[in-house]
Amino acid sequence: MRKTALIVLVVALLVPATLLAQGTKAAPAAAKVEYTPLGTYPIVKSPITVDIMVAQPPCVEDYNTNRFTKYMEEMTGVKVNFIMVPEQAATEKLALVLASGDYPDAFLGFGISFDQETNYGTQEGLFLPLNKYYSQEWMPNLMKAFEEFPGGVGYMTNIDGNIYSLPRLEGCYHCSNQAKLFVYQPFLDKLGLKTPTTIDEFYTVLKAIKTQDPNGNGKADEIPLAGSIIGWSDHVERFLLNSFIYCDLDTDINAGAVSDVGFLMNNGKVDTAVNKAAFREGLAFINKLYREGLLYNGSFTQDSSQLTQLVESSAQPTVGFVAGGWRGQFSTIGGDRFNNYRAIAPLKGPKGEQNSVVFFQNPGIGRVVVSSKSPYADAIMRYFDFMYSLEGTLLQRNGFEGEAWAWADAGTVGLDGKPAIWKALTQWNDKDPQNDTWIQVYAGAPTPTMKNGLAVEDISRSDARYYLPDNNEKVLYDETAELYKPYERTDLEVPTLKFTADESEKYSTVQRELANYIRQSAVKFMVGSMDVNDDKVWNDYVAGLDKLQLPTVLKLMQTAYDRQYK
Amino acid sequence: MHYKQKELWEDRLFNLLINIFLTISLLIVLYPLIYIVSCSFSNPQAVIAKKVWLFPVQFDLISYKAVFTNKQIVSGYMNSLYYMVVGTVVSVLLTVLLAYPLSRKEFYGRHLVTKLILFTMLFSGGTIPLYLVVRNLGLYDSRWSIILPNAITVWNVIITRTFFQENISDELYEAATIDGCSDIRFLFSFVFPLSGAIIAVLGLFYAVGQWNKYFDALLYLQNQALYPLQIVLRNILIINRNTPSMTVDVEAAIRAQGLSETIRYAVIVVASVPLLLIYPFVQKFFVKGVMIGSVKG
């Protein structure tokens, strides 16, 4: 009796957990949609509703009640029922939803990678190939935006020949040469030195900052050169090594396994910088700076907020040269120190090498994918085509015309000095939650033409206002155009490579281990825990590269390169 | 007499040393907490410039303003409270209901059931199957998806079972059954009142777990009105991070550059205060509770 009662108790607890069977909701019957002729709005004769799952950034309150969403609905006749998932859970959520079999019509803003496209598109057939829509007839605005990205359509194409997604076509001019070095100009003025142009001059200036007390406080507290290992191009070696050999190596602990590992193109062959004598000379130079206390010894352990503290915390300015993508990486925006740092051009090395690392501005892949089961693919493609027009991008990114932006007045000039295209009435802001527009351009075309067509006030370089934060975009443009563009070597940078599912599966661990080894060794050489001047240590390191299958990885990359670019 | 005096002197020294040691330990534990609170009340620029070391410098509520002006913070707080209270009640009830039969020697097959339960401690189906189960049970995007899927922690069941075995004597059970008491009646009239310590401990364990729940909510919830505090706080952190992207509102960027430092501290304070308030009331049971069963004999 008692036993029975206990068994019943336990069973009652366990049974509900085993009752899993409950059918999924039946998919809606493929509706008959009546479309209007291509190139006209609205898109459909009678309104339709499509489900789109969107990765929601915190700056958008609700996609369904968003004013831009309403605008699109009125224009196209397509009502989108947005299913919002938090941006930070997008990757997990995508996998879960695709495994559950209950898909929305499309996914927006998930940044689906080539590997995922191969996996879910090529192999499982869950994503619809969109090749047909990449045409003047279907998506004129998209094709026009692609004109600024030569080879962009090829880049979007998966190895199986299908295009599975719509891109974000963003061009950031100054990001294409982001490995910059800045100098605190008052130090140079005080010491009566010119901006260094060669490695030797650079060394002399560092020495002078260290020994001649440019901040005038009577203490030898100056730090001639500093950087950080976590941060947006805060790494000193990315700037300095390029005076010895073209090298895109990034020692950031968050860097990827395939790009930024020091690979380069050598007469049409994929090669690497990291086993060359010139690379060793570069490391030896940085090691010399480190040993002599010219390079701040926390540069390979701190992150960019610590770097900012280093620059800002002392009563008098102390830091001479700092590496960073822009001045805000290491100083308080608008502060006195921020306003006084100036970018310097790549330095000429002992053998005349003088390079600026190239960052290809590729289309952002995987911004919109369509479920292969969706009956509404035509409508979705035409809906998103509008977003790639200049107007569509501005509406989506900045807000409404006349409130957030307007077409430029005649006679105003843009960042690049050409006649301006548009002007900003309010600043772009992703810091405050709002429900007016989408802010993040998931599918759209903030192309270089659009970005450089922003009307700016023409401030002369001698005007003190030139270096203030309000003029930041112009400063970034000018620095990049004058100091870095002349030295960029697009012929040496390895373009983005695509690997087949088999290749990724076989070699991703090998690539990861090799990249870790290269990064760690480079840092060890620079800080001197491995002696770069000792031939035996160097030879052991080079032998270690082969042991970790460097030749195999190079061959793999060569295969991928030939497949895409030959 | 002399002997006794000497002992006193040694005692005093011993006590002094212990007090010094404990004071140092207290400072080591307390300092980071004070530092966090001070930073959260300081001006962001002062924190960046490392001027804060003990007390707030340039007292400033800007970090808290950024947290509390968020529209979701109130609903986040309410939801987390709901998940914590309801989740804890459900979890404690289910845990006791499972642990009690397992503690009865005359329950046939209890070793098998224990093994089955232990199995789930070591192996799980993984995220995707669990997601499918949650969805097909119709829990998806409801409050129950946060409360039910991980309602029982095996570890807590074992602690509770051991507690029952050692503290609820067989004689008591026999005496009760002779008077015609059923198992259910025994559970609610005897076991519950006698198990204050273990229930307080379970309650605290489950309450902390529910309060900190983040990932489950990310996976199973879609309706923003159901989001717990942790997701809301995470959003506040993300929105105030210092982004490398340019073309931003310069004022917003300046604000974020400083705030990204101090807002972390404010968020820590906001998230921890409710638990810190509960803890002292449960703590007296706590030490007693987890130690139970550790001494065999």
Q: Does B218 touch chain A (CB under 8 A)?
A: yes
Contacts of A156 (CB under 8 A, 6+ apart): A134, A163, A165, A167, A363, A365
- CA dist A322 and A298 (Å) reads 13
Stretch 279-338 of chain A: residues touching chain B, C-beta under 8 Å: 305, 308-309, 312-313, 325-326, 328-329, 332-334
Q: Does A22 touch chain B (CB under 8 A)?
A: yes
- Strands A106-108 and A223-226, bridge-based pairing: unpaired
The verdict on a CB contact (< 8 Å) between B238 and A87 is yes
- CA dist A402 and A405 (Å) reads 6
The verdict on a CB contact (< 8 Å) between B135 and A102 is yes
pTM of the model as a whole: 0.80
Is the omega angle on the peptide bond into residue A224 within 30 degrees of 0, that is, cis? no
Are residues A227 and A234 in contact, defined by beta-carbon separation less than 8 angstroms? yes
Check residue A457 and give its pLDDT. 86
Beta bridge partners of A112: none
Q: Does A268 touch chain B (CB under 8 A)?
A: no
Check residue A334 and give its pLDDT. 83
- CA dist B202 and B196 (Å) reads 10
| Residue of A432, A440, A456 to mutate, testing the B interface (most B Cβ within 10 Å of its Cβ) | A432
The verdict on a CB contact (< 8 Å) between A86 and B70 is no
Q: In which residue ranges of chain A is pLDDT below 70?
A: 1-31
Q: Does A470 touch chain B (CB under 8 A)?
A: yes
| Six-digit token string for A126 | 């869950």
Check residue A195 and give its pLDDT. 94
Domains present along chain B, CATH in parentheses: 2-69+240-291 (no CATH), 73-225 (1.10.3720.10)
The verdict on a CB contact (< 8 Å) between B101 and A6 is yes
Q: Does B223 touch chain A (CB under 8 A)?
A: no
- CA dist A52 and A60 (Å) reads 16
- What is the sign of the dihedral through the CA atoms of A370, A374, A375 and A376? negative
| Six-digit token string for B219 | 């996976």
- Nearest chain A residue (CA) to B131: A96
- CA dist A81 and A202 (Å) reads 59
The verdict on a CB contact (< 8 Å) between B48 and A61 is no
The verdict on a CB contact (< 8 Å) between B137 and A326 is no
The verdict on a CB contact (< 8 Å) between A334 and B254 is yes
Measuring CA to CA, which residue among A327, A335, A345, A318 is closest to residue A225? A318
The minimal CB distance from B48 to the residues A2, A332, A432 is found for: A332
Asked casually if ipTM beats, i.e. exceeds, 0.85, the reply is no
The verdict on a CB contact (< 8 Å) between B107 and A3 is yes
CA distance A361 to chain B (A): 14
Query: Which chain B positions have a beta carbon within 8 Å of A57's beta carbon?
Result: 238
Q: Does A457 touch chain B (CB under 8 A)?
A: no
The verdict on a CB contact (< 8 Å) between B247 and A333 is no
The verdict on a CB contact (< 8 Å) between B132 and A100 is yes
The minimal CB distance from B138 to the residues A22, A61, A93 is found for: A22
CA distance A277 to chain B (A): 34
Check residue A64 and give its pLDDT. 93
The verdict on a CB contact (< 8 Å) between A476 and B253 is no
Residue owning tokens 């160097």? A538
Q: Does B128 touch chain A (CB under 8 A)?
A: yes
Query: Which chain B positions have a beta carbon within 8 Å of A172's beta carbon?
Result: 246
SS3 A523: helix
Count CB neighbours of A563 within 10 A. 13
Domains present along chain A, CATH in parentheses: 45-170+363-456 (3.40.190.10), 179-356+491-565 (3.40.190.10)
The verdict on a CB contact (< 8 Å) between B239 and A430 is yes
- Nearest chain A residue (CA) to B133: A20
| Six-digit token string for A325 | 């993508």
- Nearest chain A residue (CA) to B177: A2
Measuring CA to CA, which residue among A408, A95, A154, A7 is closest to residue B132? A95
Are residues A531 and A396 in contact, defined by beta-carbon separation less than 8 angstroms? no
How many Cα atoms sit within 13 Å of B262 on the Cβ side? 33
CA distances from B83 to B67, B218, B231, B236, B265 (A): 21, 14, 13, 21, 24
At B267, which amino acid appears? V
The verdict on a CB contact (< 8 Å) between B106 and A476 is no
The verdict on a CB contact (< 8 Å) between B101 and A473 is no
Q: Does B285 touch chain A (CB under 8 A)?
A: no
Q: Does B109 touch chain A (CB under 8 A)?
A: yes
> Exposure string (b/e) for B134-164, b if CB count within 10 Å is 16 or more?
bbbbebbebbbbbbbbebbbbebbbbbbbbb
Strands of the sheet containing A223-226, edge to edge, are A223-226, A319-324, A180-184, A341-344
| Residue of A1, A4, A8, A9 to mutate, testing the B interface (most B Cβ within 10 Å of its Cβ) | A9
Query: Which chain A positions have a beta carbon within 8 Å of B248's beta carbon?
Result: 427-431
Q: How far does chain B reach from its first CA to its final CA, in angstroms?
A: 40
Query: Which chain B positions have a beta carbon within 8 Å of A429's beta carbon?
Result: 248-249, 252
The verdict on a CB contact (< 8 Å) between A7 and B240 is no
Q: In which residue ranges of chain B is pLDDT below 70?
A: 1-7, 242-256, 286-297
Are residues A337 and A467 in contact, defined by beta-carbon separation less than 8 angstroms? no
**How many A/B residue pairs have CB atoms within 8 Å?**
150
- Nearest chain B residue (CA) to A425: B249
The verdict on a CB contact (< 8 Å) between A333 and B138 is no
| Six-digit token string for A393 | 């991008």
Query: Which chain A positions have a beta carbon within 8 Å of B131's beta carbon?
Result: 96, 99-100
CA distance B295 to chain A (A): 28
| DSSP 8-state symbol, A346 | P
The minimal CB distance from A85 to the residues B108, B184, B222 is found for: B222
Q: Does B127 touch chain A (CB under 8 A)?
A: yes
| Six-digit token string for A277 | 């004598």
